[in-house]
Amino acid sequence: MESAVDQDQQWLLNCLSATLDPSHDVRSFAEASLHQASLQPAAVLLKQFIKKHWQEGEDSFEPPAVSIDEKAVIRKFLLLSLDDSHRKICTAISVAVAAIASHDWPEDWPDLLPHLLKLIKDPTNMNGVQGALKCLSLLSSDLDDATVPQLVTVLFPCLHEIVSSPQIYDKYLRAKALSIVYSCISLLGAVSGVFKSQTSGMVKSILNPWINEFTAILKEPVPSEDPDDWSVRMEVIKCLNQLIQNFSSLIQGDLTVIMGPFWQTFVSSLGVYVRSSVEGVEDSYEEQRYDSDGAEMGLESFVIQMFEFLLAVVGNSKLVKVIMNHLKELVYYSIAFLQMTEQQAHTWAVNANEFVANEDDLTYSCRVSGALLLEELVSSCGEEGIIAIVEAAERRIAESQQEKGADSAVWWRMREAALFALSSVSEHLLEDEVCVSGGKVGKLIEQMVTEDIKTGVHEYPFLYARMFSSVGKFSSVISHEVRDNFLYAAIKAISSDVPVPVKVGACQALSQLLPDANEGTIMPHIVGLFSSLRGLLSQASDETLHMVLETMHAAVTAGCKASAAIEPIVSPVILNTWASHVSDPFVSSDVIEILEAIKNAPGCIHPLVSRILPFVGPIVNKPQEQPDGLVAGSLDLLTMLLKNAPIDVVKTIHGICFNAVIHISLKSEDHAELQNATECLAAFVAGGRQEILAWGGDSGSTMQCLLDVASRLLDPSLESSGSFFVGTYILQLILHLPSQMAQHIWDLAAALVRRMQSAQISELRSSLLLIFARLVHMSLPNVDQFINLLINVPAEGSENAFVYVMSEWTKQQGEIQGSYQIKVTTTALAFLLSTKHPELDKINVQGHLIDSASGITTRSKAKLAPDRWTVMPLPKKILALLADALIEIQEQVPGGDNEDSDWEEIEAVDTEKEVDFLYSTGAMPSGRARYDHLEAMAKAFDRDDGDEDNLFSVSADPINEINLSNYLIDFLVKFSQSNRDLFHWLLQDLTHAQRNAIQAILS
């Protein structure tokens, strides 16, 4: 096959050479042969030939290489053929020219650009203009910061001549010229960070004539059924978008000039869009979404580009003021663009997955882009944006009512669009005090849904779907009566023969309404609801499966008191869903959440365990016989059952699965199995505690098995991902088997160091640092013993393990996540500092980052000059980290980032006065951290942050009860008083913010 390709390529080369033969007959025969070959995959052969044989050293290169003379012949022929009248041949030649230019231009092909410019400047040869533009459009997308400046200078005047001469050049050529302008502006924007002055100067010099041309193009109304016109405008808007994103200061003054013509395009395109796409009465040219060069030219793509432009304007704090006076009109027209198109209605009626994907903003559509614009308007314009959206929705709803009265067949579309618009910003509306306290939004939604629920569900399925989801999103501001009515309607809908979109909307409503529904309201319908959801589950696929599972989870949680009765109904079908989707992490996660909700319901855990164990037990006991993913999934299921389970349940699971999980942990090479087995063992230890050692009959043997697993997971030769949860596992051993673990501390410390030094994942290193921090707590009150222990543990590349661990710890402390983890590590650092151990002063660690004064750091600069840090003694670094903890707590206080906050005032204190301020016994200045402020800090930090701590019973660890802010205040006060000279010395290398944080709490 390879030799056949080579023969074809050789024939192609011979034909290309023959076209330059002095003999007319030879040339004619060669040209005729090439023309005949154009009906075959000749373009493919030419592209393959260049890719394989043109440039030695490329990954795709295969010998033989094209000689210098042959290259010259081919380049010359290709340039002479760019004006071929056959569009496909012209495109193929352009591709070949661009491919060669990526290697040869400008050094080895200096006549390329002059030739292309010559073709562009000759309006008598339109084929040549077209060929040159195609070639340049391909070249412009692959330029670099060295070539684009020289190209822009000579090329832009030629392109401007084409764009500004509609009487000579057609819309296709003008759009192609604008696409080249867009590519060049995009590249200039990409390099503007490094070459700011140069690129800004270049853009400024070329901007004025193009702004005039852009306004001339946009000011005319958008015509119907003219994709070429849409393409021209779309390229203009793309150029403007790039200018706003990368050169906003240059275009700021011109934006007021541009917005008028743009508004004309935006408004006039709405009528075209409604007729073509929404109503479908005109040809929307969707089948021509791409032109012959692969460029998008559909009407929806054009509208999306307009939304992208508006997003760029609204998202820029300096430019958004340009549209503030027209905010209400902008929203009013935008809502109309959110109407469901005829094509969408057809597709979504038969494909539930497509409908759900759009509802989750997973599609590229006009509706999604318009909704994003509304969200950005609220974010940028605040109360004014919210008012504009609510009032525009009211106008559109009133208009839809008038259309309904006039017997319009599409009256519902605008109504659905208004609800969609309100729903897309529901979170902002519900946070707005005016909307909530005045009840405006709630009343508007209530009025609409109360009227529209009377319409036919089969006739207007999408309006019903939107009503359901809207009631769910706005349930907190809707009356109980309306909410309950829609809850009943949603339960009825999923069990009835209604269109799929209605069932989707009903599921969305139930997911939102059930958690807050009155128990007495739900219970009479709960069995029927689960029966209906079971039916939906058996029919679901892809995105709809996630949606149904989410609804099922809400139903289980809401009907927990009846769960014991319905557990036999629900659990089997949920387990079957899990088994058939065990390799899908998203579905598996959804299913396990439902099973966990059933487990936590009164009276359900024992029957659920009895149902799951006979299925999972054989899987984990014979892991080698299972299909991919089933063992890891089964371990995940076991871990869920074990977490926070009663001791008798843990013992039951232990009898069937414990030895199997140990075996998997010691033998499996599958990283998913290793991770899940590690978590499962951690759950066993957390649930069984000391009793787990007696269940196996030989406590010493059981303990040895647990240690063997730890040893394997800490083996430096094991890939990091396999050891990912070893920190969680060892923490449980330390917490619940402390006396047994104490005998192995030296070996454990040595293994932890080796694993840390070989770890490729920073999160793994952080989890191991947590273990060292917990060992500090275990050593209390003799923390010196911990330090002495690590001093005697070797560490490759470091003087000892203590030097290595403290170096890593102080680097990574700021990256440690989770309330419990931060408490353990922060307090452990304080204990280490309080020892004043002489070894601390001998260790220097990474201090502060040294700011670079060389401007923007590129990748190449970063390689040549990586980040540089100061070096500071370990005690000073520890104090700095404690101060950082105080600052982090401060930032979590509501309003803590206010410019007028107490701590901001303190930062203005003069540096020299700061140190003296530590020992002042007088009243604290107005900028002090008041007691109530510190209380707020404590509550902010100690609130539930949603981490996974409680899943592994760290709540049983006394450290978890520490109020970190109070602890730090108490520690720093006592430490500063114990040795003021030492404390004064430690403060000297801290930053202003760190010193201020400490001073604020020492007064």
> What local confidence, expressed as pLDDT, does residue 646 receive?
95
Percent of the chain with pLDDT over 90: 52
Dihedral in degrees, nearest 10, Cα atoms 577, 578, 582, 588: 110
Element (H, E) at 775: helix 762-778
- For 774-790, letters b (16+ CB in 10 Å) and e give bbbbebeeebeebbebb
Residues 6+ apart with CB under 8 A from 53: 9, 61, 62, 63, 64, 65, 66
Cβ-count burial of 103 within 10 angstroms (0-12 exposed, 13-18 middle, 19+ buried)? middle
Q: What are phi and psi of 846, to 5 degrees?
A: -65, 130
Domain boundaries, the chain: 606-742
pLDDT of residue 951: 45
Q: How far apart are CA 628 and CA 838, in angstroms?
A: 55
What pLDDT digit, counting tens, does each position of 79-125 carry?
Answer: 888 888 887 778 888 888 888 888 888 788 888 888 998 999 999 99
> Can you read off the two tokens belonging to residue 478?
């809707």
Structure tokens at 525: 């319908």
689 vs 73, higher pLDDT: 689
Q: Which one has a higher pLDDT value, 162 or 899?
A: 162
| ∠ Cα 985 989 993 (to 5°) | 115
Please report the DSSP string for 913-956 in residue order. Answer: HHHHHTT--SPPPTTS--HHHHHHHHHHHHS----SGGGGTGGG
What integer pLDDT is reported at residue 947 of this predicted model? 44
* pLDDT tens-digit series, residues 586-616: 899 999 999 999 999 888 999 999 999 999 9
Choose the weakest-confidence range: 685-694, 732-741, 900-909.
Answer: 900-909
Q: Using DSSP bridges, classify how beta strands 868-873 and 844-850 pair: parallel, antiparallel or unpaired.
A: antiparallel
**Band of pLDDT at residue 295, cut at 50, 70 and 90:** low
> Reduced to 3 states, what is the DSSP secondary structure of residue 1003?
coil
Looking at mean pLDDT, say which of 357-371, 513-527, 557-571, 765-779 comes out highest.
Answer: 765-779
Residue that has been written with the tokens 């004014």 in this structure: 384
Whether 897 shows a pLDDT value over 60: the answer reads: no
For the segment 538-554, the average pLDDT, to the nearest whole number, is 87
Q: Is the pLDDT of residue 853 over 60?
A: no
Lowest mean pLDDT among 395-399, 556-560, 607-611, 894-898: 894-898
Whether 10 has a pLDDT exceeding 60, the answer reads: yes
Residue type present at position 779: S
Task: Give pLDDT, residue 884.
Answer: 93
Q: Is the pLDDT of residue 2 over 60?
A: no
Whole-angstrom distance, CA of residue 662 vs CA of residue 680: 10
Q: Which of 360-364, 551-555, 987-991 has the highest mean pLDDT?
A: 551-555
- Token pair belonging to 761: 């994942």
In sequence order, the 6+-apart residues with CB closer than 8 A to the CB of 10 are none
Supply the pLDDT for residue 948. 44
Which residue shows structure tokens 């070096």? Answer: 871
| Two structure tokens written together for 794 | 């070797």
Side-chain half-sphere of 883: how many Cα atoms within 13 Å?
22
Burial 926-946 (b: 16+ CB within 10 A, else e): ebbbeeebbebbbebbbeeee
pLDDT per residue as tens digits for the range 56-82: 777 777 888 788 888 888 888 888 888
Mean pLDDT (whole number) for 239-264? 92
- Six token digits for residue 945: 């942050």
Instruction: Answer for the pair 664, 623: CB distance below 8 angstroms, yes or no.
Output: yes
Model confidence at 287, pLDDT cuts 50, 70, 90, reads very low
pLDDT > 70 in the chain, percent: 85
Task: Name the band, by pLDDT with cuts 50, 70 and 90, for residue 362.
Answer: low
pLDDT band at 918; cut points 50, 70, 90: very low
Which residues are bridge partners to 872 per DSSP?
845
pLDDT value for 56: 75
In this prediction, residue 42 carries a pLDDT of 67
- Residue 3: the pLDDT is 43
CA-to-CA distance for 502 and 465, rounded, in angstroms?
Answer: 5
- Where does the pLDDT of residue 145 fall: very low under 50, low under 70, confident under 90, or very high at 90 and above? low
Where is pLDDT greater, at 68 or 638?
638
Q: For residue 723, how many other CB atoms are within 10 A of its CB?
A: 26
| Cis peptide leading into residue 461 (ω within 30°) | no
User: Which tokens go with 120?
Assistant: 């562009």
CA angle 576, 582, 587 (to 5 degrees): 85
Query: If you average pLDDT over every residue of the chain, what do you get?
Result: 84
**pLDDT level of residue 241 (50, 70, 90 thresholds):** very high
Q: Is the pLDDT of residue 293 over 70?
A: no
* H or E stretch at 149: helix 148-163
Confidence class for position 296, pLDDT limits 50, 70, 90: low
pLDDT at res. 554: 93
Give the pTM.
Answer: 0.76
pLDDT at 906 over 70: no
Phi, psi of 847 (to 5 degrees): -100, -115
650-675: pLDDT as tens digits: 999 999 999 999 999 999 999 999 99
Q: Are 378 and 386 in contact (CB under 8 A)?
A: yes
Token pair of 885, please? 């903890």
Q: Residue 615's CB: how many other CB atoms inside 10 A?
A: 13
Length of the chain: 1003
**Cβ of 653: how many Cβ atoms within 10 Å?**
25
pLDDT at residue 682 is higher than 70: yes
Whether omega for the bond prior to residue 568 falls within 30 degrees of 0, making it cis, is: no
Q: For 371-396, how does the pLDDT look when each residue is reduced to its tens digit (9 = 90+)? A: 999 999 999 999 999 999 999 999 99
